[in-house]
Amino acid sequence: MKKQLSNPLAVATLATNPDVIRTTKTLVIGGGIAFAGYYGWKKYKEWQKQKFVEKYAHLPDVQAAMVMYKAMFSIDKIDAWPFGSITIPDGTDEAQLNSLALKVSSLENVVKAYKVLFDSNLLTDVLSELNNRELQKFFDSLGAKSEYEGQFNPDGSIKPQTPFTVGTTIQVLNPNGTTIYKANEVNGEYQNSGVKRDFMKYSQTIGEIIRVYRGVTSGQYYYVVDVAWSLDTFYGYGWVAHKEVNREI
């Protein structure tokens, strides 16, 4: 089959047609503006990230965002600009993670920092990527300080409480740790002996609730606990206030 050649006259006419030239110019200019806009937006995001890192990289909220990203995507360290000169806390050291978590002001601020730094949604990434138990525990404990302090009214009184049920395993919520008292049994009922049984640090597992009591005048809840990894037959059950604990993560 012979290849058909274009009609030179038709091509010339098309090339000089004002409407065609106008349309072509519009497409070229429009494409150029779109490309320039995209490039400009990209450079702005890079500038925004750089300024954010320079100003806020020392804050616990921002460091927590970095820890989560580094761990979820199996990165030994974030070398890419502008993170190269920043030391990011170890994502495998439980004590270091707990220390950082207690300094975080709120989970909301960590999510915002993560969005600025990595242009991604932390909560979505956690659901799809996070399979490390220590990091999951770290994520769940972000903002623990504000959670603990949120139990109190401005005058120091305690807000109404919703107790945990018997059989719930609890851990320490107080960022400063809490004292576990010995529970005395009298005629099948328990009360606080006032004798210190143990002191447990933040996030440490206390044990399983076996009784729930409510203060007559205070309205606060208290738990009798089968203390984990302990000989209760020798040391006795533990007694702890609801405000000091949380459901184990």
Range from 16-25, 107-116, 212-221 that averages highest in pLDDT = 212-221
Alpha carbons 22 and 72: distance in angstroms, whole number: 52
CATH number, domain with residue 96? 1.10.220
Is 175 a member of any domain? yes
- Residue 99: the pLDDT is 75
Asked, for residue 207, whether it belongs to a domain, the answer is: yes
Looking at residue 5, what is its pLDDT? Answer: 44
| Residue at a domain's end among 119, 148, 177 | 148
- Does 162 fall in a domain? no
User: Is the domain of 241 the same as that of 212?
Assistant: yes
Q: Is residue 64 part of a domain?
A: yes
Computed over every residue of the chain, the mean pLDDT equals: 77
Angstrom CA distances, 31 to 18, 24, 34, 38, 39, stand at: 20, 11, 5, 11, 12
- Predicted confidence at residue 113, as pLDDT, reads 86
Backbone φ/ψ region at 86: left (φ over 0), alpha (ψ -120 to 50), beta: beta
Model confidence band, residue 233 (pLDDT cutoffs 50, 70, 90): low
**Using 50, 70 and 90 to split pLDDT, how confident is the model at 22?**
low
Burial class of residue 175, CB neighbours in 10 A (0-12, 13-18, 19+): buried
Q: Please give the Cα distance from 32 to 136 (Å, whole number).
A: 46
Tell me if 11 is assigned to some domain.
no
Q: Are residues 143 and 181 in the same domain?
A: no
Task: Compute the average pLDDT of residues 40-53.
Answer: 68
Residues 143 and 65 in one domain: yes
**Of the segments 5-14, 16-25, 164-173, which one has the largest average pLDDT value?**
164-173
Q: Report the pLDDT value the prediction gives residue 240, as an integer from 0 to 100.
A: 98
* 131 and 183 both lie in a single domain: no
- Say which residue the tokens 């950082």 belong to: 100
The neighbour count for residue 26, using CB atoms within 10 Å, is: 10
Count of structural domains within the chain: 2
pLDDT digits (tens, 9 = 90+) for 70-118: 777 766 545 444 555 555 555 556 677 777 777 887 778 888 888 888 8
Final residue belonging to a domain, choices 116, 148, 180: 148
Residue 200: what residue type? M
Structural domain span for residue 232: 169-247
Please determine, for residue 30, whether its predicted confidence score (pLDDT) is greater than 60.
no
Domain match, 173 and 212 both: yes
Is 9 part of a structural domain of the chain?
no
pTM of the full structure: 0.56
Q: Does 49 fall in a domain?
A: no
Specify if 97 maps to a domain.
yes
